[in-house]
């Protein structure tokens, strides 16, 4: 007897209909592997409780686990899971500034929390590519330089293939892998505009980090462009220095509190 339509989707929705499990998934959007104890501390629950939730997420295929000695690490099962979580966060109105708190508690948040929120809005990792203001400016630069075609969905142009493979040194075979799309437009939940994801987005982020043009900030998801990166991308993509700091309308990129 076949399952009625919608059963698997309902099962997935039920799995994510839990605040702790959602918090654990959102913590893993930085693309790295974390221990159960680290994730428990982040979610504010006991390690045994976190372990039970993580077991369910692993069994559902949303997370994968790695064991190294006595330690158990977990991370997202892939970019497709990260894309799902980012899209659900956008639709639900989930905001990194508040982490689900009400507006009154956000207004009472510390200067440290506000600063962290601003850093995430300026730049962050979304699994294996860059998002926030950083991701949007890079995408705009690639479009303006003729490396990306945005007439429908984002797509590498012939010129873009040359730039990625010859200027950045990305192997063409890697970009043509069938594991996932070459390009994907990911709607940014802080900028409300698209940034580049997919294999090209992942390769771009890796090259930016290896060249020292982008660095992580602290132990979380925040990332920032370096002075060397600004100079290099001004040369490569003609991105003005002011673009990293302001919205197209001239407003500051840090979200208002």
CB under 8 Å to 18, separation ≥6 — which residues?
53
Give the residue among 241, 240, 236 at the shortest CA–CA distance from 159. Answer: 236
Instruction: Please count the structural domains in the chain.
Output: 2
Do the Cβ atoms of 22 and 54 come closer than 8 Å?
A: no
What values do phi and psi take at 196, rounded to 5? -80, 125
Say what the pTM is.
0.60
Same domain, 175 and 225: yes
Taking only the tens place, the pLDDT of each residue in 75-115 is: 888 878 887 887 888 788 765 433 333 333 333 333 334 44
Measured distance CA(64)–CA(81) in Å, rounded:
11
Taking only the tens place, the pLDDT of each residue in 42-73 is: 888 998 999 999 999 999 999 988 876 677 88
Same domain, 119 and 191: yes
Same domain, 214 and 115: yes
Do the Cβ atoms of 174 and 199 come closer than 8 Å?
A: yes
Distances (CA, A) of 115 to 100, 146, 176, 256: 17, 35, 39, 11
In a domain, 14, yes or no: yes
Measured distance CA(64)–CA(59) in Å, rounded:
9
In a domain, 178, yes or no: yes
From the CB of residue 146, how many other CB atoms can be counted at a distance below 10 Å? Answer: 12
Measured distance CA(101)–CA(190) in Å, rounded:
17
Same domain, 38 and 118: no
Question: For residue 56, what is the domain's CATH number?
Answer: 1.10.10.10
Measured distance CA(149)–CA(83) in Å, rounded:
21
Taking only the tens place, the pLDDT of each residue in 133-171 is: 888 899 999 999 999 998 878 899 999 999 999 988 998
**What pLDDT shows up at residue 115?**
43
In a domain, 85, yes or no: no
Measured distance CA(64)–CA(70) in Å, rounded:
17
Show the CA angle centred on residue 209, arms to residues 208 and 213, nearest 5°.
Answer: 55
Which domain does 227 fall in, by range? 111-244
Cα dihedral sign for 240, 244, 247, 250?
negative
């Amino acid at each position: 007897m076949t399952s009625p339509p919608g059963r698997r989707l309902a099962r997935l929705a039920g799995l994510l209909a839990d605040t702790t499990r959602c918090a654990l998934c959102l913590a893993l959007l930085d693309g790295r592997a974390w221990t159960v104890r680290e994730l428990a501390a982040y979610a504010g629950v006991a390690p045994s409780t976190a372990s039970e939730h993580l077991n369910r997420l692993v069994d559902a295929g949303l997370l994968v686990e790695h064991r190294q000695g006595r330690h158990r690490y977990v991370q997202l099962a892939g970019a497709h899971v990260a894309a799902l979580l980012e899209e659900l966060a956008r639709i639900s109105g989930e905001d990194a500034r508040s982490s689900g708190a009400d507006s009154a508690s956000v207004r009472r948040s510390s200067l440290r929390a506000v600063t962290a929120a601003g850093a995430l809005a300026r730049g962050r990792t979304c699994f294996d590519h860059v998002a926030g203001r950083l991701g949007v400016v890079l995408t705009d630069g690639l479009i303006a330089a003729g490396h990306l075609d945005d007439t429908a969905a984002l797509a590498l142009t012939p010129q873009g293939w040359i730039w990625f493979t010859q200027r950045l040194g990305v192997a063409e075979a890697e970009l043509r892998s069938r594991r996932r799309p070459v390009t994907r437009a990911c709607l940014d939940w802080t900028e409300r505009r698209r940034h580049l994801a997919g294999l090209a987005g992942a390769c771009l982020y890796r090259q930016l980090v290896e060249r020292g043009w982008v660095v992580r900030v602290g132990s979380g998801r925040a990332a920032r462009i370096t002075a060397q990166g600004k100079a290099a991308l001004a040369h490569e993509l003609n991105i003005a220095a002011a673009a990293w700091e302001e919205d197209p309308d001239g407003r500051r990129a840090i979200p208002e509190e």
